[in-house]
């Protein structure tokens, strides 16, 4: 508002007489050129963005360290480890991750980490990456199932008698792990009684082609690697251990790999 005639902003307050900009709510949008084609529309289009459909990489995943897992194990936050240590095990309790059979060591997956309170219970969880921070405190021979894992974390977990398996989880699989009660149960149309108490969980999706080399590599302990699948059965078939060891060779970097991995 003006402050009098002598202030040079009195009377019409600098808006002049009538006209477009003299009216109330008469703001002209930025970039308006009087009705002609805007300048930015005359420029050619270049490039694109696939942010909506891009694959989540390691930078987007939640970091989980070996030392943190050992701290929660010492606090007794994992129920299956408490049952196995006390010698009492309920047959009705099923393992959270059923991709691999569990024989003499407990399997800790994403759902177990959420129940223990390490991770937040959110369906938008991008994934979990295992790192080796605090590895000097980790001494539990457990099987860890995560999305990604570092070389140091894998080496230290196996040195103490445990195992690491990396598995691909898409958005639907994450929801099934966190909230299985959101999926309908199998019912019979005749008597409306439940035939199977388990939920209709979705089938495990295969990784996209760009991620298949990661999950088929023994170096990353990918769940699609034949050696990883063979290793899971060694718990119940010790007679296959010699065959498993013969299928590994040591490369120039000192890492074990499959004989036919390069081919």
pLDDT tens string, the chain, 263 residues long: the values are 677 778 878 888 888 888 888 888 778 888 889 899 999 999 999 888 887 777 667 778 899 999 999 999 998 888 767 765 554 444 444 434 434 433 445 889 898 898 888 988 887 888 899 999 999 999 988 999 999 999 999 999 999 988 899 999 988 888 888 888 787 765 544 445 554 555 577 888 899 898 999 999 989 999 998 888 888 777 777 777 777 777 776 665 555 665 554 44
Q: Is residue 246 part of a domain?
A: no
Q: Is residue 33 part of a domain?
A: no
Q: Is residue 255 part of a domain?
A: no
The count of structural domains within the chain is: 1
d(C-alpha 204, C-alpha 227), whole Å: 20
Q: Is residue 45 part of a domain?
A: no
Residue 168 near residue 174 (C-beta atoms within 8 A): no
CB-CB neighbours of 41 under 10 Å: 7
Q: Is residue 105 part of a domain?
A: yes
Q: Is residue 181 part of a domain?
A: yes
Q: Is residue 108 part of a domain?
A: yes
Strand ranges inside the chain, DSSP E: 62-65, 107-108, 128-131, 143-146, 148-149, 163-166, 185-187, 194-199, 248-250, 256-258
Contacts of 139 (CB under 8 A, 6+ apart): 70, 160
Task: Check which CATH number belongs to the domain holding 174 and give it.
Answer: 3.100.10.10
b/e burial code for range 74-108 (CB count within 10 A of at least 16 → b): eeebbebbeebeeeeeeeeeebbbeebebeebbbb
Domain residue limits at 219: 58-189+196-235
Q: Please state the φ and ψ torsions of residue 258, each to the nearest 5 degrees.
A: -75, 150
């Amino acid at each position: 508002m003006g402050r009098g005639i002598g202030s040079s902003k009195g009377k019409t307050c600098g808006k002049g007489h009538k006209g477009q900009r003299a009216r109330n709510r008469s703001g002209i949008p930025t970039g308006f050129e009087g009705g002609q084609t805007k300048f930015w529309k005359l420029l050619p289009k270049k490039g694109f963005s696939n942010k909506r459909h891009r694959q989540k990489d390691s930078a987007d995943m939640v970091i989980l360290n070996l030392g943190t897992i050992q701290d929660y194990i010492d606090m007794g936050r994992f129920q299956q480890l408490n049952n196995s240590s006390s010698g009492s095990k309920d047959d009705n309790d099923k393992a959270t991750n059923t991709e691999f059979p569990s024989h003499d060591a407990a399997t800790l997956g994403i759902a177990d980490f959420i129940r223990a309170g390490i991770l937040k219970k959110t369906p938008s969880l991008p994934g979990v990456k295992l790192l080796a921070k605090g590895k000097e405190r980790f001494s539990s021979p457990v099987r860890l199932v995560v999305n990604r894992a570092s070389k140091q974390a894998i080496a230290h977990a196996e040195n103490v008698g445990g195992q690491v398996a990396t598995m691909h989880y898409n958005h639907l699989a994450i929801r099934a792990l966190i909230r299985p009660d959101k999926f309908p149960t199998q019912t019979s149309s005749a008597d409306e009684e439940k035939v199977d108490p388990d939920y209709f969980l979705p089938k495990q999706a295969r990784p996209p082609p760009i991620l298949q080399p990661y999950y088929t590599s023994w170096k990353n302990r990918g769940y699609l690697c034949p050696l990883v699948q063979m290793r899971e059965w060694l718990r119940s078939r010790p007679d296959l251990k010699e065959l498993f060891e013969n299928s590994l060779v040591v490369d120039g970097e000192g890492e074990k790999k499959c004989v036919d991995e390069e081919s």
